[in-house]
Structure 1
Amino acid sequence: MKRNLWIMYAIALLQGMVFYGPIATLYRQAHGLTIFQITLIESISLSLLILLEIPWGIIADKIGCRHTIIFCSALYLISKIIFWKADGFAGFLVERIMLSVVESGFSGVDSTILYLSCGQKNSQKVFGVYHSMSMAGLLFAAGVYAMVVQDHYPLAGFLTVISYGGAAFLSLFLTDVRIHSVKKTDTEPFRVTIKKAMKNRSLLLFLIAAALLSETHQTITVFLNQLQYQKCGLSGSSIGLLFVAATLLGLLGFCSSSVTGRLGICSSLLLFCSMAAASCLTLAATRLAFPSAAAILILRFSNTLFQPLLTEIQNRQIRTDNRATALSVNSMLLNSVAIGTNLVFGALAGRKHA
C-alpha cells in the first residue's frame, strides 16, 4: 500500500504544475474574459460539480477508487488541452464543465486511497504531505514560468498539458483499496449512507464554516490577489516573487498534524480561522503593498494548515463502507456554499476594479 502513497504524491506533484498559475486571471483576461465572467464560469462549474458529487461517489464505491482515478486523470488531461486552446467565454466554459466532472470524480476518492493505504495511522500527516506535494508542483511551475515562460502564455498552457499527461500515466499503476466490514453482512444501501450524512448536523455546520474559509482563501489567493497587487503599484516581478512565497507556505501542510497535536483540534481551528479573518480585514482596509502582501501570505498559511485537518475530520466521521459516497455528500455541501461566495466576490471585485 505504500506504493499507492508515493504514486498519489507524484500525481499531486504533477497536477500541481499549473504553469499559468502566476497569471491565472491575466491569462483568462488576455483570452477575452472579464472578472465577472471568470467567477460566473466558476459558479456554473460548481453547480454542475454539486449535481455530480453523489452519483460519482456511488460509482466510485462500485467500480473502485483505482478505476475512478484513472478515468478522471485522463479527463483532467483533456480539459487542460481544451484550456490551452480556449479563446473566449465558450472555450473556458467547456473546460470548466469537464473539470467539474473530474473534480466530482476525484472528490473523496483521493483521500480514501490515502486514508486506507496508510492504514489510517498518521493520516493527517499523509494528507498534509499530499497537499504539500501539490504546492511543490505549483512552486516548480512558478519557477519555470519566471525563468522560461514569462509572457508566452500558450507555452504555459502547453507545459501544463505535459505535466497532466504524466499524472494520467502514473495513475495506471495504482492498486485498488477497499474497506470491508468485519462481519459478512450486506453492504449498507447508498440511500442510507446519504441520509446518515445529511443528518449529522454538527458536521454539516462545520462544513459550512470550512467552505466559507476555503472559498475565501481560493478566491483571494488565486484571482483577486493580482488585482490587489496592481492597485498597490507592484511590478510584475514583485507579483511573481509573492506568488513563489505563497507557494512556499503551501508546502507546510505536513506541519498541520504537529500544530493540532500541540494545541488540540478546537484551539487549532480557532487559530486558523482567526488568522484568515485578520487577513481579510487587513485587505479590506489598505492599499499599501506590505500589509496587503503580508495578509495574503498569512491567509495562505492558515489555509495550508487547515486543509489536512479538514480532510482528517471528515474521514474520522465516516462509519460506512460507502466511504466515497459519504465524502461526496460533504463535498456537495462545501461546493454549494462556494457558488454563492464566487458570485458575490466576483460582482464586488468587478465593481471595485471598474
Structure 2
Amino acid sequence: MVSLTWRYYLYRATLSSGFYLPVSVVYMEAKGLSLADIGLVQGAFLFAMVAAELPTGYLGDRLGRRAALAVGNTVVVAVMVGFTLADSTAGFLAVYVLWAVGWTFRTGTADAWLYEMLVERGRGESYSRISGRAESTLLVVSAVGALCAGLLYTVDQTLPFYVNGVLAGFGVPLLYSLPATRDCDGPDCSPLGVREAASVLRTQLTRPAIRWVVVYAALFNVAFSVTRVFEQPAMRAIGVPVVGLGVVYAAFKLVSAAAASATGAVHDRLGTRGVLLLLAPATGVLYASFAVVPLLLLPVLFFRRAVQTVTRPVRNAYVNDRVDDAGRATVLSGVSMVLSVASGTANVLGGHVAESVGPVAFLSATGVSVAVVAGGVWLWTEPVREPSAAPTGA
C-alpha cells in the first residue's frame, strides 16, 4: 500500500504546470501577441472549459477514471508541443481550447479515483491525509519547476514547454501502474440525467441564499482572473526580469501551500461571513496601493494567491451546507461554470483595456472597481445567509 500511495504522489506531481506557467504570457508576447490577443486566448480557455465540462464528464464515466486521467495527460503533452509550434493568435487559440478539454478530463477525477481506491481497501479515513500530501507534492514540484522556468527560457524559449510535456508524459505509464477502481458502482452512484441536472441547477442557483454569494464570488473571480492573466506583463513593467519571474512563481507556490494549511484555522476564527466580508475592503485597499507605488504590485500578487486558496473551500462549504446530497456535485460544477464564464468575459474584454492603459493601471482599476461593486452587493443583498433562512427548495 505504501508503494501504491507513493505512485499516486508521483502521478500528482506530473500534473504540475510549474515549468511553463511562469513564462507562458511572456512567451506569447515574444511571438507577437498583444495583451488584447492574450486576453482573448485566455478567455477562450475558460469558455472552452465550460463547454467541455459535461461532455468530458460523460466520456470520463464511460472510459473509467484511469483512462480519463490518461487522456488528460496525453492532451497536455500535445498542448506543450502546440505551444512550441504556435506563432499566431489563431494558433494559440487552438492550443488553449485543446488545453481546456484536457483540463476537464482531469478536474476532480484524480481525487475521485483516490477516494474510491482507499474505500475499496478499507482506508477511506486516510483520504484527507493522503490527498493533502499529494497536493503538497504537486506544489513542491511546481515550485521547483518555477525556479527552473526562467533559466530554461533564457536558454531556449521553447525549452520550458518541452520539459513540462515530458513531465506530463510520465503520468500515463504511472497511471496504468495504479489499480483500476469500480468507478460508479452502488445504489447511490447513479448520475443525474441532463434534464435533472438542468432542473437542479436552475432551482438551486436562483435561490437567494446561493445566487447572491455566487454573484459576490464571481466579482472577485473577475479581478483575480485578469490579475493572473496580465500579471506577467505587469511584473515586467515594474522591472522584474524574466529569470526573476520563475523565482516569484516559486514563492507563489509556497504561499499557496501555507495558505492551504491555514484555511481551517482562518475559517474557524472568522466564519464564512467574516472571510467573505473582508474580501471587499482588503481587495480595494491593496489594489489601489500599487496605483500609487507600482512595486506594491508584488505583495498584492501574493495576496491574490493566498485569498483564492482560502476562500475557495470556504465558498464551497457554504454551498454544500445549503444543497441536498442529490445534485450537490452538479450545483458545485454549476457554480464553477458561472465563475468561469464571468472570468472568461473579463479576460476577453480586459485585454483591450490593458493594451491601451497599461497592465499595472488596468489591474489596479479592476480591483478597486470590483471591491466597490462587491461592497454594494453585500450591503443590498446579504449574500451570506444562515441555513435556516434558506431552505433547499428541492
TM range (shorter): 0.7 to 0.9
User: In the TM superposition, what whole-angstrom CA distance separates every residue of 1:303-340 from its partner, at most 9, and x where no partner exists?
Assistant: 222234445556664623x7765544333222211222
2:221–2:342 Cα contact (<8 Å) kept: no
| Distance of 2:215 and 2:167 partners within structure 1 | 33
Question: Which of the two has higher C-alpha Rg?
Answer: 2
Q: Which of residues 278, 285, 296 is equivalent to 2:301?
A: 296
RCO higher in structure (CA 8 A, sep ≥6):
1
| Distance of 1:308 and 1:3 partners within structure 2 | 30
2:184–2:190 Cα contact (<8 Å) kept: no
Which structure 2 residues correspond to residues 142-291 of structure 1 after superposition, within 5 A? 142-172=146-176, 173=178, 175-176=180-181, 178=183, 188-200=192-204, 201=207, 202-220=209-227, 222-252=228-258, 253-271=260-278, 274-283=281-290, 285-289=291-295, 291=296
2:18–2:144 Cα contact (<8 Å) kept: no
In structure 2, the partner of 1:333 is 338
Gap regions ≥5 residues in structure 2: 360-394
SS of the residue corresponding to residue 150 of structure 1 reads helix
Per the TM alignment, residue 295 of structure 1 is displaced from its structure 2 partner at its CA by 1.5
1:125–1:257 Cα contact (<8 Å) kept: no
1:129–1:254 Cα contact (<8 Å) kept: no
2:23–2:242 Cα contact (<8 Å) kept: no
1:79–1:95 Cα contact (<8 Å) kept: yes
| Distance of 2:303 and 2:34 partners within structure 1 | 28
When normalised by structure 2's length, the TM-score is: 0.74
Aligned CA distance change for structure 1 residues 309 and 224 (closer, same or farther; 3 Å) = same
In structure 2, the partner of 1:342 is 347
| Distance of 1:203 and 1:3 partners within structure 2 | 43
- Alignment-mate amino acid for residue 169 of structure 1: P
- Alignment-mate amino acid for residue 227 of structure 1: P
1:53–1:107 Cα contact (<8 Å) kept: no
SS of the residue corresponding to residue 255 of structure 1 reads helix
User: In the TM superposition, what whole-angstrom CA distance separates every residue of 1:196-250 from its partner, at most 9, and x where no partner exists?
Assistant: 1332133344334334334432331x33223333333344455443333222212
User: In the TM superposition, what whole-angstrom CA distance separates every residue of 1:270-301 from its partner, at most 9, and x where no partner exists?
Assistant: 34565444432323x23431x22122211222
| Distance of 1:255 and 1:66 partners within structure 2 | 32
Which structure 2 residues correspond to residues 302-321 of structure 1 after superposition, within 5 A? 302-310=307-315, 317=323, 319-320=325-326
1:15–1:137 Cα contact (<8 Å) kept: no
Aligned CA distance change for structure 1 residues 177 and 28 (closer, same or farther; 3 Å) = farther
1:145–1:156 Cα contact (<8 Å) kept: yes
| Distance of 1:177 and 1:21 partners within structure 2 | 35
- Root-mean-square deviation over aligned CA pairs: 3.5
2:39–2:229 Cα contact (<8 Å) kept: no
Aligned CA distance change for structure 1 residues 207 and 3 (closer, same or farther; 3 Å) = farther
Q: Which moved more, 1:207-216 or 1:344-353?
A: 207-216
1:39–1:346 Cα contact (<8 Å) kept: yes
| Distance of 1:169 and 1:73 partners within structure 2 | 10
| Distance of 1:6 and 1:209 partners within structure 2 | 40
1:76–1:164 Cα contact (<8 Å) kept: yes
In structure 2, the partner of 1:22 is 22
1:272–1:305 Cα contact (<8 Å) kept: no
| Distance of 2:162 and 2:254 partners within structure 1 | 24
| Distance of 2:53 and 2:91 partners within structure 1 | 23
| Distance of 1:296 and 1:305 partners within structure 2 | 15
In structure 1, the partner of 2:379 is none
1:13–1:137 Cα contact (<8 Å) kept: yes
2:19–2:149 Cα contact (<8 Å) kept: yes
Gap regions ≥5 residues in structure 1: none
In structure 2, the partner of 1:52 is 52
% identical aligned pairs: 20
Aligned residues: 349
- Alignment-mate amino acid for residue 307 of structure 2: S
Aligned CA distance change for structure 1 residues 254 and 65 (closer, same or farther; 3 Å) = farther
Aligned CA distance change for structure 1 residues 319 and 298 (closer, same or farther; 3 Å) = same
Aligned CA distance change for structure 1 residues 40 and 295 (closer, same or farther; 3 Å) = same
When normalised by structure 1's length, the TM-score is: 0.82
| Distance of 1:312 and 1:168 partners within structure 2 | 33
Per the TM alignment, residue 158 of structure 1 is displaced from its structure 2 partner at its CA by 1.0
1:19–1:157 Cα contact (<8 Å) kept: yes
| Distance of 1:7 and 1:308 partners within structure 2 | 27
Per the TM alignment, residue 138 of structure 1 is displaced from its structure 2 partner at its CA by 2.2
1:20–1:27 Cα contact (<8 Å) kept: no
Per the TM alignment, residue 350 of structure 1 is displaced from its structure 2 partner at its CA by 1.0
2:226–2:343 Cα contact (<8 Å) kept: no
Per the TM alignment, residue 140 of structure 1 is displaced from its structure 2 partner at its CA by 0.9
